[in-house]
Amino acid sequence: MLDAPITANDLYWAIVKSKNEKAPGPDGLPVEYYKVKTSLWARIFEVVYASQLEKGRMTKFQRRAHLSLLYKSGDRTVPGNYRPLTLINHDAKLGPKILARRLGQFLPDIIHDDQSGLRLNVKKTCIMPFTRFVDRQALQDLRTSSNFKVYGVSDTVKLLGVRQGAMVTTAQRLDPVLDQMRRRCAIWKYRARTLRGRVVLLRTIILPLLWYTASVTHVPSSVLKAVDIIIRNFINNHDHDDAAKPGKFDKEWIYVSVTQGGLGITRPKDFVQATHLVSLRDAISVATRLSKAPRWIMPALALFSSVLGTLGTGFDILYANIQGDKSRTCSWQSLPDFWYDTLLAWGKLHAAHGISSWQEFTQVMPFWDNFCFLFGSTKRPMHRLSIHSSRLQQRGFCRLQDFVDYTGSYPTHELLDALLEDADFARPASKTRFIRDTLRRLNLLVHQDGPFFGPTLPRSIESACHSWGFGEKLVVDMSNRDFVILLRQDSKIPALQLQQLHIADYQPSASVWRAEYSWDYHVLPVCADLKFRLQHNALGFRYKFKWRTKVDLPSLCVHGCSDDEDGQHLFWTCFVAKHQWQRYLLPFEAMIVGDFTWQMIVFPSTIRLLPSTLERFDEFAFYRVFTVVRCCVLRSLWLHRNKKMYNPEISTSKRFVEFHCRGYLGLHLRKLRSLAVQNELLKLRRLVDLLLLRLGFPKPKDKPKTTTTATATDTTTTATTTTTTTTTTVTATDVDPVFS
């Protein structure tokens, strides 16, 4: 297989699987060029590579490359401080990609996961103890006998960016990270104009500073609280001190998913737990594939066996019923915080989303401490039901397979009677009762067709090879994102306080929020941000400041109305707002059932469309165009309100707001129309043309379409461009008769 000829199918796969938007080589041809006619190029390269393999060399064009040197750190005159970046032609990458795919099917069976071709860099290599109980004389002997740096017990060093040492504390690891996060927040505080813009900055620039270190480090609750304060203050545009300042809306909306009406940031606790669970998943995956534990998890397995004692060994801890606070659970005191929190999250996920079919593994799974095998109203594991259970544990019986290995059968009354000493019980009746109760519980695990005989996996990894799964996936196939989604499903979703917006008896559903989020794609972020704040009553309306006593701030409308300024008044009932809606809602009035209401402006999903509207324009076109209109009107009203509030000498001009809004609409509608023409969305284009016509904009002109035909040979590549012009004529039939 490895030396088989490279076929067109192989090359087709290599072209399709190549990532887009990658820098090309000297020929300037990106991989997207070859994806235009993938089948044709696959057949062409089949001939090319067959010729090259026969001659033993690639073409001179494929052997050329652009080389750039990227400076890393240190002295710029030292060549070793630069990393070379080579850009070769994409057609030269296809053959190596195919060979790598072929080798990837065999290398895991030949090379161990822990094997690599590293060579120690003596200048950077150091020897350090990982425990404080070290012979200091031995460290001194190492210093004199080797050329490596030898650190003491109190010294620390960075290993792959994470502070390590025998006595390093969590504060030493995470406090510098928190300080760096605060500095980045200060840099980017005034560069994000919208809530979703701040969310992007948090996800891409600020929070990743913590995720890297937290993936291999226990993160205490105090640090998680500090991160929560940083997130909340950055979202609300406050200074980043040690206390969270109140925001304009419920803090829970920061962590609610976008499809539920929130900003979609993952809680720090959930993300940290997900990264820890990924470490456990990696160990399970390797153990399942190789039928042996990877070397990097061996210290943890030894620790698990020590903690379990006679209840099991190694990966049997996956079944352990770990609950509650570690400080209150004596049996898990010796388990490090990192693994305790990880296994606690593992147990909670299994209880809420587990799909493991544990009945298939009853003969080989541990039964003394098993969250699948609990009893009573208090859900106690089997080893806590009787103090005499330790007698069987000490004899090494912690799964049914142990009895099968011992006698060739499942446990019986005679076997347990022979294994237990009479002296361990106060009276014979106690022994009989214990045997009877134990058999009654173990019989719940016994297979009717068992016992089963045959080779078994090593005891330490047996439990890892069971079919663990959460949600709809097996654990070995889950990614960090999959764990995050499951951990976030139990998040609290606060209720919208719509009474202050004068919207009663209505709570938007998940489908409403998903629709709103999709409509936002067609409006400027600042407009979508204003709409989001309005829906969550997170704008600084003047009625909210009535309670202030130290500052005399009026709560009345800035335009001279006698009503308090709230959302409904400013954006709907004020004479300035009425003028805008009368102007810009006019084209839509004949498309809906009934009249427009304030609730329809805030949540358009409550609008009911006429059958004629659905036939001529459909919902897709209507809601996208209507969202553009309402967001532009809301934005114009809000900007004029702020200008009037901070410049009282300026007179209110509803006509100024109208023309301001008209400019916003022209910008949005022309962009939306080009999108409709490009994607051949006839009904969307028809509605946009209608609105442009009603608003007095000049007749739009379609851009000519360009069709590119690629012709390739084995030596040269040429591109022929044919241009065809499409003319769109807007006639009276394209306009609804109501507006003719």
pLDDT for 115 equals: 67
> pLDDT per residue over 106-126, tens digit each?
887 787 666 666 677 777 788
> pLDDT per residue over 453-467, tens digit each?
888 899 999 999 999
List, as one string, the DSSP characters of 319-361: G----S-GGG-GGGTTS-HHHHHHHHHHHHHHHHHB---GGGG
Q: Is the peptide bond before 451 cis (omega within 30 degrees of 0)?
A: yes
Residue 245: name the closest of 264, 263, 268, 229 by CA.
229
> pLDDT per residue over 220-277, tens digit each?
999 999 999 999 999 988 877 777 778 888 889 999 999 899 999 999 999 999 999 9
Q: Which amino acid is at 626?
A: F
Long-range contacts of 177-180 (CB under 8 A, 24+ apart): 177/209, 177/210, 177/213, 178/210, 178/223, 178/226, 178/227, 178/230, 180/209
CB-based contact 599:503 (threshold 8 Å): yes
CA torsion 142→147→152→153, rounded to 10°? -70
Query: What string of H, E and C letters represents the secondary structure of 649-700?
Result: CCCCCHHHHHHHHHHHHHHHHHHHHHHHHHCCCHHHHHHHHHHHHHCCCCCC
Give dist(CA 489, CA 259) in Å, integer.
Answer: 12
Structure-block tokens of residue 23 = 């820098």
pLDDT for 718 equals: 38
Distance of CA 241 to the CA centre of its chain: 27
CB-based contact 631:605 (threshold 8 Å): no
Q: Is 591 helix (H, G, I), strand (E, B) or coil?
A: helix
Domain boundaries, the chain: 8-110, 126-165, 170-265, 312-477, 508-699
Q: Quick one: pLDDT band at residue 550, thresholds 50, 70, 90?
A: low
Mean pLDDT for the stretch of residues 190-197: 89
Q: Quick one: pLDDT band at residue 524, thresholds 50, 70, 90?
A: very high
Give dist(CA 618, CA 711) in Å, integer.
Answer: 41
> pLDDT per residue over 210-221, tens digit each?
998 898 889 999
Average of per-residue pLDDT values in the chain = 86
CB-based contact 94:31 (threshold 8 Å): no
Mean pLDDT for the stretch of residues 612-637: 94
Instruction: Say if residue 700's pLDDT is above 80.
Output: no
590 C-beta neighbours (distance < 10 Å), count: 13
Q: Is 112 left (phi over 0), alpha (psi -120 to 50) or beta?
A: beta
> pLDDT per residue over 482-498, tens digit each?
999 999 876 778 888 88
Instruction: Say if residue 708's pLDDT is above 80.
Output: no
**Regarding beta strands 149-150 and 126-127, do their DSSP bridges make them parallel or antiparallel, or are they unpaired?**
parallel
611 C-beta neighbours (distance < 10 Å), count: 8
- Residue in the structure block whose two tokens are 């087709």: 12
Q: Is the peptide bond before 24 cis (omega within 30 degrees of 0)?
A: no
166 C-beta neighbours (distance < 10 Å), count: 17
Of all residues in the chain, what percent carry a pLDDT higher than 70?
Answer: 91
Of all residues in the chain, what percent carry a pLDDT higher than 90?
Answer: 51
Identify the helix (H) or strand (E) that includes residue 722. strand 717-724
Give dist(CA 734, CA 372) in Å, integer.
Answer: 66
Q: Pick 181 or 355 by higher pLDDT.
A: 181
pTM equals 0.77
pLDDT for 326 equals: 67
**Regarding beta strands 156-159 and 162-165, do their DSSP bridges make them parallel or antiparallel, or are they unpaired?**
antiparallel
Mean pLDDT for the stretch of residues 534-560: 80
pLDDT for 597 equals: 94
CB-based contact 236:191 (threshold 8 Å): no
